[in-house]
């Protein structure tokens, strides 16, 4: 447990000094300024007093027990300081000093030395190269950190591998009138890990939302497991930097080449129940809302405005981000007509007019809260100088105390009405400057509601002959298995495929097949068979097959061959697997054939899939309307696609020896007529 780290009884600071520009001085100052409830012990061999506190030449001279020692000395001295902390019985060292593994070479060796010293004494290491920790709980008020933003209490906790990003989140929460519960910027995370921090915050009753900045993951399965548990009750939000970097390992399958680092992060976060954001601004706005308001039960929003334009902006942004405009009940509209001025508009958004009184706002909020068609409420308001604006603010806060639905407010005003904004914020209602920002935050809240539902989904059930497919794989060499073997494995899991048989190099031994037939080269060195002349279609009889085989075997003297029934044309898709080291099997779906790399219109999801996951994968691609049909095109058999995804997911779970798989193309026929896999590449790890 990390209680001694986040709820310490005493903090020592090595490197404390009276130099106001030193890290050690700032840490001591922050501990004093924000009222740390425990003892503070500055350590400095040359100065007897620091900021009015008695300084000690060594931690070994400190009279009381110490839970945390903050270390801000030259990097080469850190292992020695950790040794002294161990002899003192310190539980955690927070190493602010940089110059360790992040520098490589000697820095990495120095970090190993400090860890070895810490383990020898049973000391936990937080960092190195880190800002530190903060806990705003008034029973603790610990600011063991060298940053500058004042400690404001809030219900969102912050985890940041980068101290700069963590402070960016903290700074902007404060600007919004909020704050944090626990702040953890852990730098190199050499010992105390992100996963341990997640465990702690997941069990902390004061943390309602966790906001993370992630640069790398050391234990991805553990990260997923922890986040899935936490996200059932608390929202977990994250940004990850470096999202344009392609995966470092070159791979030979379509699926592998299309999984870039950013797509993999999306798949991991989706599996973990983590809400991913691509900008800190949007994550902070959403975290502010989620930490202060209940989660909406659905996507239907009711908008209240006292000026038409901002309400229209809110409509656009809400709809663009997946929310629906709630359809008010007739009873709600009747009561609005009776209670508001005649000029008021009682559809959605409700325009209560610029002259609306506090009573008008109270009535409208109460009615929308009671309406079963409304899941959340968004107010966009200006502050007219001819209205009691503070009265409007009080009416909003009083109504919110009786509401069961979340409420967000956008106030367009200036500093003259700062008191109006403060009244709303002090009631725990998030206030935003722009209707777009408020709308996106509300959409994020609804997205979290969907995540909670998704986390309750059970993996889809699919039967498969694991023993049969496993035996085929066990008999194969590392690398791509033969086409015949690949199709036998698909058959073991009931995946519909074109009848496929191997072709002997003796022309007289060509197999009997149903015509028309297709002859294909079968070589792991040839990925794009059609491009290299390795596919012959429309073979109408045995003579045509023998002639094609004679020609092709001459052009590919070292390859094997298969012959297949030629399936009727249809829509071509791709279904694939890529097993990522330290992560597990990631599945891919998209348009297939020649379009997969041209359009790169694909979706990803980690196995195992639920039935709903399979549906979401199909519907995520931009080209989904092509599968839906229309304008004379019959709808595709989407249910059959989903079943293949589920069976491939089961296969990926059963057979960890599969490193990569491409089923491309899979031909999809009109609704009710199924699918057929016509090419399969399975790579054994």
Measure Cα distances from 299 to 5, 191, 269, 438, 439 in Å: 40, 41, 21, 14, 12
Domain count, the chain: 5
CATH number at residue 522: 3.30.1490.20
Residue that is written with structure tokens 């730098």 in the block = 187
Instruction: Say whether pLDDT at 261 is over 70.
Output: no
Of 245, 272, 292, the one marking the end of a domain is 292
Of 359-363, 371-375, 511-515, give the lowest mean pLDDT range. Answer: 511-515
Tokens of 512: 């009997």
Within a 13 Å sphere around the CA of 155, how many CA atoms are in the beta-carbon half?
A: 18
Tokens of 27: 């840490």
pLDDT tens digits, one per residue of 197-206? 999 999 999 9
pLDDT tens digits, one per residue of 641-656? 999 999 999 999 999 9
Q: What is the spatial distance between Cα 291 and Cα 285, in angstroms, rounded to a whole number?
A: 10
**285 shares its domain with 298:** no
Q: What is the spatial distance between Cα 586 and Cα 220, in angstroms, rounded to a whole number?
A: 13
Contact call for residues 228 and 202 (beta carbons, < 8 A): no
CATH number at residue 410: 3.40.50.261
Mean pLDDT within 33-59: 96
Instruction: Say whether pLDDT at 253 is over 80.
Output: no
Domain ranges, residue 214: 147-292
Tokens of 646: 């589920």
Residue 485 lies inside a defined structural domain of this protein: no
CATH number at residue 32: 3.40.50.720
Q: Count CB-CB contacts under 10 A for residue 452.
A: 14
**6 shares its domain with 53:** yes
Question: What local confidence, expressed as pLDDT, does residue 643 receive?
Answer: 97
**202 shares its domain with 272:** yes
**269 shares its domain with 347:** no
- Beta strands 658-668 and 10-14 are unpaired
Instruction: Say whether pLDDT at 361 is over 60.
Output: yes
Contact call for residues 595 and 601 (beta carbons, < 8 A): yes
Q: How confident is the model at residue 1 (pLDDT cuts 50, 70, 90)?
A: confident
Residue 183 lies inside a defined structural domain of this protein: yes
Of 104, 131, 158, the one marking the end of a domain is 131
pLDDT tens digits, one per residue of 453-507? 999 999 999 999 999 999 999 988 888 898 889 999 999 999 999 999 888 666 5
Residue 247 lies inside a defined structural domain of this protein: yes
Q: Name the packing angle between helices 358-370 and 389-400 (round to 10°).
A: 20
**127 shares its domain with 160:** no
- Beta strands 584-591 and 602-606 are antiparallel
**161 shares its domain with 209:** yes
Residue 595 lies inside a defined structural domain of this protein: yes
Mean pLDDT within 386-412: 95
The helix/strand/coil state of 125 is: strand
Q: How confident is the model at residue 274 (pLDDT cuts 50, 70, 90)?
A: very high
Indicate the pTM of the whole model: 0.90
**299 shares its domain with 204:** no
Residue 230 lies inside a defined structural domain of this protein: yes
**255 shares its domain with 391:** no
Contact call for residues 597 and 255 (beta carbons, < 8 A): no
Residues in CB range of 327: below 8 A, 6 or more apart:
300, 348, 373
**510 shares its domain with 599:** no
Residue 180 lies inside a defined structural domain of this protein: yes
pLDDT tens digits, one per residue of 523-542? 877 777 877 888 999 999 98
pLDDT tens digits, one per residue of 278-309? 999 999 999 999 999 999 999 999 999 999 89
**449 shares its domain with 313:** yes
Contact call for residues 568 and 528 (beta carbons, < 8 A): no
**551 shares its domain with 578:** no
Q: What is the spatial distance between Cα 344 and Cα 354, in angstroms, rounded to a whole number?
A: 10
Residue 338 lies inside a defined structural domain of this protein: yes
**560 shares its domain with 580:** no
Residue 430 lies inside a defined structural domain of this protein: yes
Of 455, 470, 490, the one marking the end of a domain is 455
State the SS3 of 429-442.
CCEECCHHHHHHHH
């Amino acid at each position: 447990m990390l209680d001694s780290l986040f709820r310490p009884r005493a903090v020592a600071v090595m490197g404390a000094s009276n130099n106001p520009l030193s890290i050690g001085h700032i840490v001591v100052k922050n501990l004093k300024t924000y009222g740390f409830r425990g003892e503070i012990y500055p350590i400095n061999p040359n100065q007897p007093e620091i900021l009015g506190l008695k300084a000690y030449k060594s931690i070994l001279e400190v009279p009381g027990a110490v839970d945390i020692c903050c270390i801000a000395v030259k990097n080469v001295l850190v292992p020695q300081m950790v040794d002294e902390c161990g002899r003192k019985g310190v539980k955690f060292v927070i190493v602010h000093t940089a110059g360790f593994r992040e520098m490589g070479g000697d820095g990495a060796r120095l970090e190993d030395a400090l860890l070895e010293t810490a383990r020898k004494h049973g000391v936990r290491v937080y960092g190195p190269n880190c800002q530190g920790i903060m806990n705003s709980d008034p029973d603790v008020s610990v600011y063991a950190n060298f940053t500058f933003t004042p400690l404001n209490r809030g219900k969102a906790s912050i985890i940041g591998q980068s101290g700069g990003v963590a402070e960016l989140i903290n700074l902007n929460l404060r600007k919004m009138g909020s704050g944090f519960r626990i702040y953890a910027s852990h730098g190199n995370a050499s010992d105390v890990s992100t996963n341990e921090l997640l465990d702690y915050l997941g069990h902390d009753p004061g943390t309602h939302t966790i906001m993370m900045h992630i640069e790398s993951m050391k234990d991805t399965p553990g990260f997923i497991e922890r986040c899935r548990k936490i996200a059932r009750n608390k929202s977990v939000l994250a940004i990850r930097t470096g999202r344009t970097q392609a995966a470092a390992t070159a791979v030979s399958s379509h699926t592998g080449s299309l999984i870039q680092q950013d797509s993999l992060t999306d798949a991991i976060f989706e599996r973990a129940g983590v809400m991913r954001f691509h900008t800190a601004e949007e994550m902070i706005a959403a975290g502010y809302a989620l930490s202060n308001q209940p989660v909406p039960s659905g996507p239907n929003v009711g908008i209240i405005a006292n000026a038409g334009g901002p309400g229209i902006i809110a409509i656009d942004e809400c709809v663009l981000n997946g929310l629906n405009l709630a359809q008010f009940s007739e009873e709600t509209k009747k009561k609005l007509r009776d209670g508001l001025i005649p000029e008021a508009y009682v559809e959605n958004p409700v325009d209560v007019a610029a002259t609306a009184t506090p009573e008008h706002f109270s009535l409208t909020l109460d009615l929308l809260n009671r309406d079963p068609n409304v899941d959340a409420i968004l107010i966009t308001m200006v502050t007219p100088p001819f209205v009691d604006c503070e009265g409007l603010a009080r009416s909003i806060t009083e109504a919110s105390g009786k509401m069961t639905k979340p409420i967000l407010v956008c106030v367009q005003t200036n500093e003259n009405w700062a008191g109006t904004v403060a009244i709303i914020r002090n009631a725990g209602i998030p206030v935003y400057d722009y209707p777009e920002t408020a709308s996106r935050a509300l959409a994020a809240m609804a997205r979290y509601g969907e995540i909670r539902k998704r986390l309750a989904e059970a993996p889809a059930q699919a039967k498969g002959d694991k023993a049969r497919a496993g035996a085929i794989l066990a008999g194969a060499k590392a690398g791509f298995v033969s086409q015949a073997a690949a199709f036998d494995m698909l058959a073991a899991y009931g995946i519909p495929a074109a009848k496929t048989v191997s072709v002997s190099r003796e022309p007289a031994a060509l197999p009997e097949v149903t015509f028309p037939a297709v002859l294909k080269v079968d070589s792991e060195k040839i990925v794009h068979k059609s491009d290299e002349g390795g596919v012959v279609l429309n073979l109408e009889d045995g003579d045509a097959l023998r002639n094609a085989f004679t020609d092709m075997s001459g052009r590919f003297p070292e390859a094997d061959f298969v012959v297949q029934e030629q399936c009727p044309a249809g829509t071509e898709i791709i279904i694939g697997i890529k097993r990522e080291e330290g992560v597990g099997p990631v599945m891919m779906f998209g348009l297939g054939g020649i379009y997969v790399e041209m359009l790169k219109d694909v979706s990803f999801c980690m196995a195992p899939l639920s039935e709903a996951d399979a549906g979401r994968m199909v519907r995520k691609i931009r080209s989904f309307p092509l599968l839906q049909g229309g304008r004379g095109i019959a709808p595709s058999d989407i249910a059959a696609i989903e079943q293949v995804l589920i069976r491939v997911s089961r296969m990926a779970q059963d057979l960890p020896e599969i490193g990569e798989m491409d089923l491309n193309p899979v031909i999809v026929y009109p609704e009710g007529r199924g699918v057929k896999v016509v090419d399969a590449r399975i790579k054994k790890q």
